[in-house]
Chain A
C-alpha cells in the first residue's frame, strides 16, 4: 500500500511536471507577446526590448522555465535594479497586469472556490445518486421518467443561461434572495449562504445529471446480478438489499467521477458559474488573466487546476481500496 502510494504520487508528480513544462512552452514561446500588449500602440523596439528584459523574456526559454521552477521551490527576485521585486517561495511569479504576487492572489481566491465546490458537490452527489437509485428501483415509472428527464435537461442547459433565468426570477422578480455574491464565511455565515444559493443551484443542475445517469445504469446492471436475487430470497428487506448490495457495488464508478469532478471544481473549473454570478474564485481569475494576457497568472491557474485534478485522481485510487475490497494494489 505504501509502495503503491509512493509510486502513484511519483507518477502524479511527473504528470504535473509535464503539464507545467508544456503550459510554459505554449504560453511563453508562442507569439502572443506580452510586451507588445503591455507597451500599447505607440511603441518603439527599444521599449519592447526593455520590457522583455525586465520580465526576463530575453533569456532562453528553458532558462526561463528553470528560473520558474527554482523560484517555486526557493524563491527568486524578478526584474533588476530599482524595479526588482522579491518573490518568496513558493513563487509563481508576479502578475504582468498589476505586479501582485500570483501565489498570494491564488490563495486569496481559494476560499471562494472551496465554498462553491463544497456546497455544490455535496448536493449534486447526494441528490444525484438518490435520484438515480430511485429511478433504477422504479424503472419505467414516474420517478424514473422524472429523473431521466431532469438529467437530460440538466446536461443540455448551458449554465450561463440557467444562471440568468435563476437570477431573473429569484433575485429581480420575486426578490427572495439577495444578488449572488461571495462573503467570507468567517465574516457573515448567513450572508455567505444566501449569496451562494443560486451559484450552487446552477452548478448542481448542471452536474447532478451525470450522477443520476451513472447511478441509474450501474444500479440496473447490479440489480440483474444473481447475488441480489439471492439476498432477496434469503429474506432481506428490499431497502436493505438496495442500500447494502446494490448501492455498495454501484458506488465505485460514482466515486471515480466524483473525485475527478471535485478536484476539477476546487482547481477552478467552475469558470462559467463564477463568471456568470461574479464569484471571485480561481476560475474567474483565469478568465480575467486570459483577457489581460497576464501570462504568469494564466500559467499559475492552469498549473493549480492540473495539480488539483491529478491529486484528486490519486486520492480516488486510494479510496478504491477502502470501498472495494476486490481492488489489489500491485
Chain B
C-alpha cells in the first residue's frame, strides 16, 4: 500500500478496517465448520453492536431525536404551539420581553419555555429545528459518501493518470480551509440559486445550497479512505481471478470491490452525520445558514448570546439538545466501528 507522506488518522484506520473484514469472514468460517449457525458478517456485527451497552443507549437516544424530528408537526400539535406563533401573554413587555415564570417560562403549555424577545415556543422550534438539522445532515452525508465512493473507487482501481488527477483534486479540496469556504460560499450559492423574480430566498433553495456545500467539502475524506482500501484490495487474488475471467471494469468496481468496502463506507457515513449536524448549526450560529424566523438550533444559540445572563434556560435547552444529538450519533458511529472491527479496543 503506497502511503502518502501526510496520511491522516482516517487512512491509518483504514488499514485496521481492512484487516477486520478478513477476520470477520474467517470467524464465520470457523463457526460454520463447528456446525452451529452460519452467521453473515453483517449479522455478527449487529450482534456485537447489540451487546455493547453504550451503543444501545446511544442508538435509543438518537432514535428518540429522529422520532421527535420526524413527528415535529404532531408533537407541536399536541403541545398546542406552532414554531412561529408568538405567545404574547407569556412574555413581559415591561421587563424586556423576557418570559414570565421561572426557568424561561417552562410550564404545562410551554414544555421547554418561551423564547425571550419573540415569545415563540421553544419546544416547537426545537423539534422543527431538529428536523431541518437531521435532514440537511443526512442528505449531505449521503451525497458526500456517494461521490467519495465513486471517486475513490475510480482513483484506486484505474491508477495511473486517472489516479494522479483525482488525487490532485482531492488534495486541493483538503487544502481548502473548509469552514471558512463553507461560510464564504453559502451566501454566494444561495443568491446564485435564487436570482428569481422575487429576489427573495426560499427556504428549500437555501437548505439545498447548504446541503450541496457541506457535501462538496466532505467527499474528499471518503474518497481518500476508499482509495486506500482499493489500492490494497486490488492486489488480492480474487481480483486477479475476476480479471483473468475477463470481467469488465464495471463488474470489477461494483461487483468485486464495492462489496468488500461496505464496512469503511458505513463507518465514514455514520461519523459524517454528526459532523454535518455540527457544521449546519455552526453556519446558522454565524448567521449564514438557516435564518430566523425559520427554526434552527444554531440560530437559537446565537440568539441566546444576548439573553443568557437573564434567561440561561434558553441557552441550555438548544445547547444540550445539540450536544445530545451529536454525542449520541458519535457514540453510535464509534459503536458501529467497533462492531465491524472486532480486534480494535480488545487487543
A327 & B5 in contact (Cβ 8 Å cutoff): yes
Which of A160, A253, A276, A306 gathers most chain B CB within 10 Å?
A160
Taking a contact as CB atoms under 8 Å apart, the answer to whether B177 and A305 are in contact is yes
- Select the stretch in A46-54, A100-108, A164-172 that faces chain B: A164-172
Asked whether any CB of chain A lies closer than 8 Å to the CB of B57, the reply is: no
| A131 to B326 CA separation, bound complex (whole angstroms) | 23
Residues A111-155 near B (CB distance < 8 A):
152-153, 155
For A161, A164, A168, the residue with the greatest tally of chain B CB atoms inside 10 Å of its CB is A161
A291 touches B185 (CB 8 A): no
Over the window 277-299 of chain B, the binary record of Cβ atoms lying under 8 Å from chain A Cβ atoms (1 yes, 0 no) is 01001100111100000000010
Q: Which B residue's beta carbon lies closest to that of A140?
A: B345
- The answer to whether B315 touches A152, judged by C-beta atoms less than 8 angstroms apart, is no
CB 8 Å contact bits of B162-185 with A (1 = contact, 0 = none): 000000000110011101110111
Which residues of the other chain, B, contact A239 by a CB distance below 8 angstroms? none
B8, B179, B309, B347: the one within 8 Å of A172 (CB):
B309
Query: Inside 8 A of A257's CB, which chain B residues have their CB?
Result: 8-9
Q: Report if B86 contacts A (CB, 8 A).
A: no
Q: How far is the CA of A290 from the CA of B286 in the complex (A)?
A: 10
Question: A154 CA to B345 CA in the complex, in Å?
Answer: 20
- Chain B 1-34 interface mask (CB, 8 Å, partner A; 1/0): 0000111110010000000000000000000000
Task: Let me know if B330 and A19 touch, CB within 8 A.
Answer: no
Most buried by A among B171, B188, B326: B188
Our pick among B180, B191, B281, B327 for the contact of A305 (Cβ within 8 Å) is B180
B159 lies within 8 A of chain A by Cβ: no
A292–B61 alpha-carbon span in the complex (Å) = 40
- Known contacts A32-B191, A272-B285; A152/B327 CB under 8 A: yes
Asked if residues B192 and A30 are in contact (CB atoms below 8 Å), the reply is yes
Interface residue A207 (Cβ < 8 Å from any Cβ of B):
no
**Across the two chains, which residue of chain A brings its CB closest to B330?**
A156
Is A316 in the interface zone, CB < 8 Å from B?
Answer: yes
List of A residues within 8 angstroms of B187 by Cβ: 32, 290, 293
CA distance A317 to B189 in the complex (A): 35
**Is B204 at the interface (CB under 8 A from chain A)?**
no
Q: How far is the CA of A156 from the CA of B62 in the complex (A)?
A: 14
> Among A156, A158, A267, which residue has its beta carbon within 8 angstroms of that of B301?
A158
Nearest CB on B from A70, distance (A): 23
User: Using an 8 Å CB-CB cutoff, how does the interface string of B98-120 with A read, 1 for contact, 0 for none?
Assistant: 00000000000000000000000
A198 smallest CB distance to B (angstroms): 14
Instruction: Tell me if B191 and A31 are in contact (CB < 8 A).
Output: yes
| CB of B319 to closest CB in A, whole Å | 4
Encoded as 1 (CB less than 8 Å from any A CB) or 0, chain B from 55 to 73 comes to 0000000000000000000
Q: Do A320 and B5 form a contact, CB below 8 Å, given A253-B12, A301-B180?
A: yes
Give B332 Cβ to nearest chain A Cβ, in Å: 11
> Which chain B residue lies CB-closest to A209?
B330
B-side contacts of A271, CB under 8 Å = 179-180, 183, 286
Write the A308-322 contact mask toward B (1 if CB under 8 angstroms, else 0): 111001001100100
Q: Indicate if the CB atoms of B315 and A15 lie closer than 8 Å.
A: no
Are A272 and B282 in touch, CB under 8 angstroms? yes
Contact for B323 among A158, A210, A283, A293, CB less than 8 A: A158
Q: A30-B192, A306-B177 are in contact. Are A218 and B12 (CB under 8 A)?
A: yes
Q: Mark B252-274, 1 if CB is under 8 A from A, else 0.
A: 00000000000000000000001
Q: A27-B188, A287-B286 known; A313 and B304 CB under 8 Å?
A: no
Quick check: is A45 within 8 A (CB to CB) of the other chain?
no
Inter-chain contact B322/A161, CB cutoff 8 Å: yes
Residues from chain B with Cβ under 8 Å of A55 in the complex? none
For B304, list chain A residues within 8 Å (CB): 164
On whether the beta carbons of B195 and A31 are closer than 8 Å, the reply is yes
B312 CB within 8 Å of chain A: yes
A-side contacts of B181, CB under 8 Å: 302
Contact A26 B6 (CB under 8 A): no
B282 touches A168 (CB 8 A): no
Q: Judge whether B286 and A272 touch: CB under 8 Å.
A: yes
User: Within the assembled complex, what's the spacing in Å between the Cα atoms of A161 and B191?
Assistant: 29
Does A92 sit at the interface, judged by CB under 8 A?
A: no
Q: Which residues of B contact A327 (CB under 8 A)?
A: 5
Residues from chain A with Cβ under 8 Å of B319 in the complex: 158, 161, 164-165
B304 to chain A: closest residue by CB: A164
What are 19 A-B residue pairs whose CB atoms fall within 8 Å in the complex? A32-B187, A32-B191, A152-B330, A152-B331, A152-B334, A156-B323, A158-B298, A160-B282, A168-B315, A224-B347, A253-B8, A256-B7, A267-B177, A271-B180, A272-B179, A272-B282, A291-B287, A306-B176, A313-B175
**Which A residues are closer than 8 A to B by beta carbons?**
15, 18-19, 26-27, 30-32, 152-153, 155-158, 160-161, 164-165, 167-168, 172, 210, 213-214, 217-218, 220-221, 224, 253, 256-257, 260, 264, 267-269, 271-272, 275-276, 283, 286-287, 290-291, 293, 298, 301-302, 305-306, 308-310, 313, 316-317, 320, 327
Question: Sorted from nearest, which 5 A-B pairs have the closest CB atoms?
Answer: A305-B177, A156-B327, A161-B319, A156-B326, A32-B191
